[in-house]
Amino acid sequence: MTATGVLALDIGGTKLAAGLVDATGRVRSFLVAPTPDGRRAALDVLFALGRKAVADAGADWPEVAAVGIGCGGPLDAEGGVLLSPPHLPGWVDVPVAGLVAAAFGKPAVLDNDGTAAAEAEHRFGAGVGTAQMVYLTLSTGVGGGAVLNGQVYRGATGNGAELGHVVVDWRGRACRGCGGRGCLEAYVSGTSIAERAREALDPASFRRGSGGSFSGSSLSGVDAVTAAEVAAHAAAGDPLAVRVWRETIDALGTGLTSIVNMLEPELVVLGGGVTRAGDALIAPARAAVRAAAMTPGGRSVRVERAALGDQVGVVGAAAVAMRKFFRKGTV
């Protein structure tokens, strides 16, 4: 069996991924490695992963037609240049699409990873057939993308749908992602969930806070609290974890309400590591947005977990390349 596909590269702040994806969205090979410090070292690892992904796909692949690259913004998608993504310190004005095209001898395209993931879920995942769909990834940071009227929405400079930076509390927590205040990302990213739990556990910061003593929290024995532990301990009824988790749901419900009131999507897809909590996250978030968002859009909107899991990054990067380089009927 032969097939035509694309090489997909996903550049994250903590990990790099590469995969060969066929035209049906199926991932034929998939490799992940931690992101090393330094731009040069990271690109070396990325290119090595890419070459291995091609080799791993096997000899029945006659052609890698193109390369798709996903990365956090801000970026210049048209020019294929990373401008200054906050999760990649020192990567300023990097012409990554050009570097990739030179390394692999194939046309390459760069897009925002949130946009790419939205495209992946719309083309191959939870959002197939929808006209208006919003995708939110709750991960180290919070990113997103939107499909409006059946098309991926880009905004004026290609950096639209920064859904993690919808503000939920104008006097709220500082946001590491954008330097602003009270963004959704400052509450529902894995980083923030863990950080808020640690703040609540720490007696010094706790004295400045408002409520009772949590010295008996089951989390207090945990060395380095993670979002997954907060979710698990909340499910087990630990009061501190429950408090942090409830605040997470409140923030998510508020942010989704703003998003739904603004875009009135049929479907909100939630992806990223934090969604491993499953229905402990999705069900109350769905209930919150249905209760608070305006009718009729708020009543009918579906809120669902992403279908593509950990591979959404490479499927997204592949989907971006397919949109750019594949014409209808060529694959």
Q: Is 166 in the site for its own copies (CB under 8 A)?
A: yes
Write the interaction track for its own copies spanning residues 33-62; mark x where CB under 8 A is met and - where it is not. Answer: ------------------------------
CA angle 99, 144, 9 (to 5 degrees): 25
CB of 178 to its own copies, least distance (A): 5
- The 3-state DSSP class for residue 2 equals coil
Q: Is 250 in the site for its own copies (CB under 8 A)?
A: yes
Helix (H), strand (E) at residue 119 = helix 113-124
Q: Is 103 in the site for its own copies (CB under 8 A)?
A: no
DSSP state of 41: H
Give the C-alpha separation, 201 to 256, whole Å.
Answer: 28
* Beta carbon nearer to its own copies, 228 or 292: 292
CB of 163 to its own copies, least distance (A): 6
Q: Is 165 in the site for its own copies (CB under 8 A)?
A: yes
Write the interaction track for its own copies spanning residues 125-154; mark x where CB under 8 A is met and - where it is not. Answer: ------xx-------------x-xx-x-xx
* Beta carbon nearer to its own copies, 142 or 315: 142
* Beta carbon nearer to its own copies, 31 or 178: 178
Write the interaction track for its own copies spanning residues 252-281; mark x where CB under 8 A is met and - where it is not. Answer: --xx-xxx-xxxxxx---------------
Asked if 18 and 64 touch (Cβ cutoff 8 Å), the reply is: no
Question: From the list 46, 69, 301, 314, which residue makes contact with its own copies (rule: CB under 8 A)?
Answer: 301
Tell me the site size for its own copies, rule CB under 8 A: 52
Write the interaction track for its own copies spanning residues 71-100; mark x where CB under 8 A is met and - where it is not. Answer: --xx--------xx----------------
Find the helix packing angle between 239-263 and 279-292, rounded to 10°: 50
Give the C-alpha separation, 195 to 190, whole Å.
Answer: 8
* Beta carbon nearer to its own copies, 36 or 180: 180
Asked if 176 and 191 touch (Cβ cutoff 8 Å), the reply is: yes
- The residues, any chain, with a CB within 8 Å of residue 262's CB and separated by 6 or more, are none
Give the C-alpha separation, 136 to 282, whole Å.
Answer: 12
Residue whose pair of structure tokens reads 């959704």 in the numeric block: 184
Give the C-alpha separation, 230 to 245, whole Å.
Answer: 7
Helix (H), strand (E) at residue 282 = helix 279-292
Q: Is 304 in the site for its own copies (CB under 8 A)?
A: no
* Beta carbon nearer to its own copies, 273 or 298: 298
User: Cα–Cα distances in Å, from 255 out to 159, 166, 200, 248, 250?
Assistant: 19, 6, 23, 11, 9
Binding stretches for its own copies (CB under 8 A): 73-74, 83-84, 131-132, 146, 148-149, 151, 153-157, 159-163, 165-171, 178, 180-182, 250-251, 254-255, 257-259, 261-266, 292-297, 300-301
